[in-house]
Amino acid sequence: EVHLVESGGALGQPGGSLRLSCAASGFTFSTTEMNWVRQTPEKGLEWIAYINSGGGNIHYAASVKGRFTISRDNAKNSLFLQMNSLRAEDTAIYYCASGTNYFEDWGQGTRVAVSS
Amino acid sequence: SYELSQPPSLSVLPGQTASLTCSGDKLGEKFVCWYQQRPGQSPVLVIYQDQKRPSGTPGRFSGSNSGDTATLTISETQALDEGVYYCQTWDSATDVVFGGGTKLTVL
Which string of DSSP letters, residue by residue, matches B5-16?
A: B--SEEEE-TTS
At residue B77, what are phi and psi to the nearest 5 degrees? -55, 135
Q: Do the Cβ atoms of B42 and A102 come within 8 Å?
A: no
pLDDT interval class at B95 (50, 70, 90): confident
Identity (one letter) of the amino acid at A41? P
How many Å is the Cα radius of gyration of chain B?
13
Nearest CA in chain A to B54: A104
Residue B49 has pLDDT above 90, yes or no: yes
Residue A15: Cβ-neighbour burial (10 angstroms; 0-12, 13-18, 19+): exposed
- What residues in A contact B97, CB-CB < 8 Å? 47
Per the CB < 8 A criterion, the answer to whether A113 and A16 are in contact is no
- What residues in B contact A45, CB-CB < 8 Å? 35, 43, 86, 88, 98, 101
Please state, in angstroms and as integers, the Cα–Cα distance from residue B54 to each residue in A42, A77, A93, B82, following that order. 29, 24, 25, 19
**Given this model, what pLDDT does residue A86 score?**
98
pLDDT interval class at B94 (50, 70, 90): confident
Q: Dump strand ranges (E) for A63-106.
A: 68-73, 78-83, 92-98, 105-106
Non-local (6+) Cβ contacts of B50 within 8 A are B31, B32, B33, B63, B64, B65, B70
| For residues B44-68, average pLDDT | 96
**Given this model, what pLDDT does residue B29 score?**
95
**Given this model, what pLDDT does residue B93 score?**
76
C-alpha–C-alpha distance, residues B84 and A100, integer Å: 22
Instruction: Name residues 67-96 of chain B within 8 A of A (Cβ).
Output: 86, 88, 90, 95-96
Q: Is B46 on the interface with A (CB under 8 A)?
A: no
Question: Which of B83, B79, B102 lies closest to B13, judged by CA?
Answer: B79
Residue B1 has pLDDT above 90, yes or no: no
pLDDT interval class at B52 (50, 70, 90): very high
Mutate to test the interface with A, among B32, B48, B96, B103 (most CBs of A within 10 A): B96
Q: How many CB pairs under 8 A join A and B?
A: 46
User: How many angstroms from the chain centroid is the CA of residue B21?
Assistant: 7
Non-local (6+) Cβ contacts of B85 within 8 A are B6, B20, B34, B35, B36, B37, B46, B72, B101, B102, B104
pLDDT over 90, % of chain B? 93
**Given this model, what pLDDT does residue A49 score?**
96
Q: Do the Cβ atoms of B45 and A102 come within 8 Å?
A: yes
Q: What is the mean pLDDT of each run of 10 residues along chain A (116 residues)?
A: 96 97 97 97 94 95 96 98 97 96 96 96
Mutate to test the interface with B, among A1, A6, A40, A45 (most CBs of B within 10 A): A45
Per the CB < 8 A criterion, the answer to whether A37 and A50 are in contact is no
Residue B92 has pLDDT above 90, yes or no: no
